[in-house]
Structure 1
Amino acid sequence: MSFPLFCITNRHLYSMPFLDQLDRILTLRPAGVILREKDLSLEEYVSLGRQVLEKCRRAGVPCWFHTFVEAALELEPEGIQLPMPVLRALPHRWRQKFPGQVGASCHSLEEVLEAAWLGADCCTFSHIYPTRCKPGLAPRGLEQLRQVCAQSPIPVYALGGITPEKVPELKEAGAAGAVMMGWWGTVASPTP
């Protein structure tokens, strides 16, 4: 049984221009690319999203947007990943306008259950392991991931400190797959 590994982007972690790094990442065939770049304006995100979507489609890799609902409605990527406050604030009928999958970014079982009730197709649960993105914040750990996966009505993807070496224990905990940020930049970067 395969275990999907998604890439969630953070252009600030890459040592080369973002679109060049994306080309390298796409050669590694992630299960999907989630364009996270939340610090951009809507206009900047739409412009970058258009380029990323084109590259992903050419490579046959699903593209998901993150946070920017307006961009997703305009460009129709395969999915959108939403922080819980964004998902909660959306009008109920917005899903009728978006043909793709909807994921929610969750940090507790209560949020996972709420995300499912709000119509999310899947969710991330984070962070599982220590990560540089969340210094000083204790990771949720495998036991909490196991409990969430056992009670979730939607697929749960592990996020935070993930590397491919951790896949066996994530599978054993019941995760549907994993989402990695930092690893894609290190493995796909050229060696000096």
Structure 2
Amino acid sequence: MKITAISNLGLCGSKEALKEKISRLCEVGISEIILREKNLSVSEYCALFCEVLQICNHFGVRLFLHNFLDLAFDLEHKFIWLPLGVLQNFRQNSTRNLSEFEKIVISAHSTDEAGLALNLGANALCLSHIFPTDCKANLEPKGLDLIRNVREFWDGEIYALGGINSSNFHFAIESGADNIAIMSSAMTCENEKEFLENFL
């Protein structure tokens, strides 16, 4: 099982604090990092991504470029994590080839979205949100059935996201997820080593 941490600049307060947080997570053995800062401009994101990539490479941790697909092509970065809409727009408007990427994780919130993502070229899925979460307080969680239902037609890699903690993550794995992705608690934990050990 991979434990993937999703960045949140707002929760960290500054770019320097975010880089320090990512460095500490990498140091204690986080599996992967997603730099999910889609509120930045492309140029701002690129500058931050290149700095974070240095950190991740130092520790041998995989970094996903999020949202900015053209930038991923330009940087020749092989690992991307995209909203479904970005992939749909790309397929409608671009002649570039997704085969340049090694891993294409697409976020999906229903079985229909999951099927569409796979048809458009995803080779891994992020299903959310599984449990109640403050990030989506007004939205009903999709629940474990989303994982189970997608697993009926997809035997590839599934990440579970949304409200996942050390008490409930095993339910997501038992329902068919391969990995878990976590944002808020990863960004706000005071002790990164303890945070990670709670999932081992």
- Return the TM-score normalized by structure 2: 0.86
Q: Given the alignment, which residue of 93, 96, 100 partners 1:93? A: 96
Aligned to 2:150: 148
Aligned to 2:79: 79
Aligned to 1:165: 167
- Unpaired runs of 5+ in structure 2? 193-200
- Percent same amino acid at aligned positions? 33
Aligned to 1:14: 12
Q: Deviations over 1:34-91 (max 9, x none)?
A: 1000100000000001001111011100010110112212223341111111101113
Alpha carbons 1:37, 1:66 under 8 Å: kept: yes
CA shift for structure 1 position 189: 5.4
CA shift for structure 1 position 149: 2.1
CA shift for structure 1 position 178: 0.9
Aligned to 2:67: 67
Aligned to 2:136: 134
- Unpaired runs of 5+ in structure 1? none
Instruction: Indicate the RMSD between aligned Cα atoms, in angstroms.
Output: 1.8
Alpha carbons 1:149, 1:155 under 8 Å: kept: no
Residue aligned with 1:123, SS:
strand
Alpha carbons 2:127, 2:146 under 8 Å: kept: no
Residue aligned with 2:101, SS:
coil
Residue aligned with 2:82, SS:
strand
- Return the TM-score normalized by structure 1: 0.90
CA shift for structure 1 position 147: 1.5
Classify 1:163/1:76 alpha carbon distance in 2 versus 1 (closer, same or farther; 3 Å): farther
Alpha carbons 2:7, 2:18 under 8 Å: kept: no
CA shift for structure 1 position 13: 1.2
CA shift for structure 1 position 188: 4.6
Moved more, 132-141 or 19-28: 19-28
- List 4+ stretches of structure 1 deviating above 4 A: none
